[in-house]
Amino acid sequence: MSNAPAQSRLREIPGWAVGLCLFGLAAGLCVIVWYAVNPPFLDKPSGNRELLLQFATTAEEARAVVDGGADGNGDELFRNGLVLDWRMLIPGYAVALAGSFGLGHLFLYRESTRLWARRALVLTSVPVAADCVENVFLWRALNRLAADPVPDLTRAAHFAQMKWALVVPLVAAAVLIVVTLCCRRVLDPSFVHSAREDRPRPVVAHAHRLVDGTESRWSDPDVILPPAAPHDWEPRAEWTAPGPAQPGRPAARDPKDSAVARWRTRAYQPPGRQPAELGFCVSGGGIRSASVALGALQALRGQLLKAAYLVSVSGGGYTAGAFQLALTDAGLRAPGGSPSARPGLSKPADVFAPGSPEEDHIRRHAKYLADAPKEKVNAAGAVLRGMAVSFGMLALVFTVAGQFLHLFYAYVPLTELRPLTAEGERFDSSLDLYPNVWYPVLALLGLAGLVSVGYAFTRAGSGKSRPAWLRSTVNTLTGLALAVALYSVVLPSVIWFFASLAHKAGKGGYWDDSGAGVALLGAITAAATAAGTWFTAVHRTVKRLKPDGEQASPFARGGTSLVTQVGTSWVKAVVCWLVLLLVAFFGLALMSWAAVYAGSWHAGWKWGVPIALIVLTLVIDQTTFSLHPFYRQRLAGAFAVRRAVLKDGSVGALPYDYNNEPTPLNPYAQRVEGFPQVIFAASAAVSLRNRTAPGRPAVPFTFASDYCGGPDTGWVRTGTLQKTAPALIGRDLTVQSAVAVSGAAFASAMGSQTMFMERLLALSNVRLGTWVPNPLYLAELAKYGPDRMMPRLPRVRRLRYQLQELVGRYSDTTPLLLCTDGGHFDNLGLVEMLRLRCRTVYVIDASGDSPPLATTLAQAITLAYEDLGVTITFDEEGQNLLDLVPGSAKPLAPEAPMAALNARFSANCVVRGTIEYPEPVQFSPDAPAGTKGTIIYVKAGLTPDMPYELLSYALREKAFPRQATFDQWFDHAQFDAYRALGHHLGTKAAEVPLAHPGRCGVRRRGSGRPSQR
């Protein structure tokens, strides 16, 4: 990690530096308070007359400010005020800001935050200098009041603009630093509690040192650090990359060496996860994938019970989690740990067998989100509750922002807000800004360009790039120009625009201090957001595709075509953007209304709104009010069952008690004897491109009974994680929650291709993902903590995390990570299975590919090579992936009645390929190491030898088996059809030999008509 140990850094901090910063902060605050209370013996102008003089633009305004007021002391009083400014106020806020940022530089934990504190410390000199220069011009203007003070007044106003544009954010940053440091000193530090009672403190290991045992004598560390990212490096004296390289020299320039380097860097696994002969992957795809996976695993039970791992993604996790919870006896054990007198009745050989009570339970609850009217009302209530919380918090944020702007412009007259009040004919629709507001902005931008261009001309022949100090200077000047423009032009223009618009639309009737118009706009916005969110969730577009995958014209007649349902379309994009624009419009309108009328509010509202925002920000957990708890509970009700003897003596499926049996990962996800270890593949949102794979906005993150995490975030022992996490976050560390997180397709971190949907989901709180502790943070906490300088592990996922989702920025070192659908990284789970090192891999793919090709498989193959250096080929004889293409099968006769189905039939539903690992792998202790493996890929498609009842269903449902993933309301007919399809596919996959190419569905071309069942 890039952060130095907190204790060693504390020992290096000189006491005089700490004392100087504390003295500066305390002295500065005392001087500011003394100046603000304005004792009688301080001879300075009263009220905000000094501020009015700073922005006076004419001689008449300046004389009115100087000669007005009850004191009547004239320009001499203002000169005394300027002297006090130089002697008290400017040094006071300068040393207070410097002391705050100095403390931030000394005591903030992360290097990035300390860097920002140092930058703020340097920037403090800018408003101080601007204030001093402004006072010089004001002094000159006071001496020339009787003549022509306008040039000096104008220059003073320009420097006042720059001063106030920087003072406000600097003061906010200083307050945030001081409050953060005080809270960290007062509150108890966070701890990492080891899962093992015999350890005095948790053990932290490095993934790349666990292979040879040099990192730790412990075989099961509590936290495992991943290899460092490129942005987190330390210079080394010699070349240390893996490979057959000599010290000091790079590895050989062989592509295979590059693959080996990727494999050694990315294929780490926690201790205990040994290579295996056999593994299974079940893909994402919602209830569609869950149904297909159930049927396939039923048919492949003989192979499944020999497997070591079952990796599930999204909808495949519904079925994998159901198998695991039906088999585990964790909840049936006595307190002493021994099995109770009533063990589970299900066994690996018959769990979820065709016709079993467990299968029947899922069939009856396939509409797991909502089936009965009461459940639909509960679902609507959960959505509305989350939206109310989200909108309420955002409304408070915009209202408090408006209150701040009202106070700011009341004392710093960059604009006049009183003429914007709705008082009939007295409403002034002109934008009241003092003249020449653009001069400082243009001057700063021109200065930035001049500095950059001047340096480029002077160093044109040297060939050197711009130094860091020059880039920093140009960026600072540009940022200052934007800040001046924001306070001087942008915000006043926004307020004026909404006031003018409301007055013209309603003649001022709705733009008054009662807020009726804003409330009406808020109600319309909330209703439109609810309708838009619902439309986004349930709308499915049916497309007719030509054989080459191009969309067919809706007016075309005749010819062959495929029908598929998709969850995304341009209509959804338009609806989402319109809703987002409406929400932005309402937020700015609310802020503008508060900026104009906050002065006329009752004192209870003036103080109550900011206090409510602060309190609710601290106590409301964003995940609790999102859809994740509801989604988790509905999945548990449909898939969390175990076989039991009922009251009448019959055997049935007994659902888990959701409220009283939370199914923590350890022990409920522990491997059951005779059944593979279940690993739920999710993804963690990370914005840094140094961590994420190309084109993907997330990194892999898995949940299992032994460890949780991934190769980019590190791993933490599940027991340690459960003991360390606060109670509210610990609810999300269960088997039921792992299934829900792995299937959190509705999430605010789905990538740049769905940016419109990301923002809408974060805004409306219709989010299925959750925030869990970050293994990287826990590693720091275990290694350097407990320490009061370190950030705390949050007990509540506050407003900050929803705002983080709204802007789409995710760090890899924050205390919490946003975990969502594993399909955002790899929807097959194939890459995770290859990382586990299995010789034979069964992949059951029921994802929502758009024909004609299996794009999800292609993406997984590419990702496997990019990430791990593993190559997968299907070039053996008879293993043509194009046989999976709809329309590749020999047509069934009679061709005329069967034309629609013939266009959808694939020649194969299963293909066999070769896996080549970059290095030899010891798949089993009694077999020699090898690099070759086998992949048996099962694709949900139609073949001519399908059972007659499936052919009938496919003819009736044109989109089968490509109905949209967003369709999560399966009836019993849909469930039976997809389960039967999965059983048919699994039966064909079981017939494929592992040592020779296998075929299914049809015979080799030219060998006659395909057989039918």
pLDDT, one tens digit per residue, over 677-704 is 999 999 998 887 667 776 677 889 999 9
490 and 604 inside one domain: yes
Above 70 in pLDDT, residue 71? Answer: no
Confidence at 246, pLDDT banded by 50, 70, 90: very low
Q: Alpha carbon of 8 to those of 4, 5, 16, 500, 785: distances in Å?
A: 7, 5, 17, 59, 12
Range name among 243-257, 568-582, 937-951 with the lowest pLDDT average: 243-257
- Are residues 558 and 448 part of one domain? yes
Read off the pLDDT of residues 53-66 as tens digits, 9 standing for 90 and up. Answer: 888 878 888 888 88
The pLDDT-based confidence of 92 (bands split at 50, 70, 90) is very high
Alpha carbon 968 to chain centroid distance? Answer: 23
Query: What is the C-alpha separation between 89 and 93, in angstroms, rounded?
Result: 6
pLDDT value of residue 98: 94
Q: What average pLDDT does this structure show over 273-277?
A: 92
Question: 584, 619, 654: which is the final residue of a domain?
Answer: 619
Contacts of 611 (CB under 8 A, 6+ apart): none
Lowest mean pLDDT among 40-54, 278-292, 999-1013: 999-1013
Let me know whether 369 and 275 are in one domain: yes
Phi, psi of 961 (to 5 degrees): -100, 40
Residue 1002 has a pLDDT of: 35
Residues 634 and 681 in one domain: yes
Lowest mean pLDDT segment, chosen from 363-372, 504-513, 569-578, 694-703: 504-513
- Among 603, 619, 635, which residue terminates a domain? 619
Global pTM value? 0.85
Evaluate whether 743 touches 752 at the Cβ level (below 8 Å).
Answer: no
Structural tokens at position 209: 């040192």
Residue 557 has pLDDT above 60, yes or no: no
DSSP H helical ranges for 731-785: 735-742, 755-764, 775-784
Query: What's the total number of domains in the chain?
Result: 3
Whether 845 has a pLDDT exceeding 70, the answer reads yes
Asked whether residue 1012 is assigned to any structural domain, the reply reads no
Name the band, by pLDDT with cuts 50, 70 and 90, for residue 707.
very high
Pseudo-torsion of CA 906, 912, 917, 920, nearest 10°?
180
Domain of residue 461, residue span:
389-619
Is 613 found in the same domain as 649?
Answer: no
Residue-wise pLDDT for 96-115, tens only, equals 999 999 999 988 888 888 88
Give yes or no: residues 659 and 642 share one domain. yes
883 pLDDT higher than 50: yes
Lowest mean pLDDT among 65-79, 308-322, 755-769: 65-79
Q: What is the pLDDT of residue 197?
A: 82
- Residue 1011 belongs to some domain of the structure: no
Q: Is residue 789 part of a domain?
A: yes
Tell me: pLDDT of 508 over 70: no
pLDDT of residue 245: 39
The helix/strand/coil state of 910 is: strand
Do 352 and 405 lie in one domain? The reply is no
Same domain, 168 and 306: no
Q: Helix axis angle, 286-299 relative to 315-327, nearest 10°?
A: 50
Q: Are residues 60 and 166 in the same domain?
A: yes
CB 279 within 8 A of CB 310: yes
CA distances from 868 to 426, 711, 718, 843 (A): 71, 11, 25, 18
Residue 992 lies in a domain: yes
Range in 76-80, 165-169, 704-708 the model is least confident about:
76-80
Residue 782 φ then ψ, to 5°: -75, -35
Tell me the CATH number at 983: 3.40.1090
| pLDDT tens profile 638-654 | 899 988 888 887 888 88
Whether the per-residue pLDDT at 999 is higher than 50: the answer is no
- The highest-confidence range among 205-219, 315-329, 339-353, 870-884, by mean pLDDT, is 315-329
Q: What is the pLDDT of residue 848?
A: 77
DSSP 730: H
- H or E, element range at 564: strand 562-566
Query: Within 87-147, where are the H helices?
Result: 90-107, 111-123, 125-143
DSSP 413-436: -SB--GGGS--GGG---S--B-S-
Q: What is the mean pLDDT of residues 904-915?
A: 89
Residue 961: pLDDT over 70: yes
Say whether pLDDT at 183 is over 60.
yes
- Domain end among 186, 220, 236: 186
Say what the pLDDT of residue 753 is. Answer: 46
- Closest to 795 measured CA to CA, from 298, 190, 271, 161: 190
Domain co-membership, 433 together with 377: no
What pLDDT is recorded for position 267?
85
Q: For residue 814, what pLDDT band results from cuts at 50, 70 and 90?
A: confident
**Is 702 part of a structural domain of the chain?**
yes
- Same domain as 773, residue 681: yes
Say which residues have a Cβ less than 8 Å from residue 65's Cβ, sequence separation at least 6. 49, 52, 53, 56
As a whole number of angstroms, the distance between CA 220 and CA 716 comes to 10
The per-type count for the chain, helices as H runs and strands as E runs, is 34, 18
Residue 217 lies in a domain: no
Classify residue 968: in a domain, yes or no. Answer: yes
The pLDDT score that the predictor gives to residue 1008 is 34
Least confident of 381-385, 571-575, 776-780, 1004-1008: 1004-1008
Average pLDDT, integer, range 239-245: 44
Q: Is residue 509 pLDDT above 70, yes or no?
A: no
What is the chain's mean pLDDT, rounded? 81
C-alpha to C-alpha distance for 583 and 759, rounded to whole angstroms: 11
Shared domain check, 508 and 613: yes
Determine the average pLDDT of the residues in 218-240.
Answer: 67
Beta bridge partners of 36: none
Flag whether pLDDT at 195 surpasses 60: yes
pLDDT of residue 373: 77
Confirm whether 751 is domain-assigned.
yes
The answer to whether residue 721 scores a pLDDT higher than 80 is yes
Q: Is the pLDDT of residue 418 over 70?
A: no
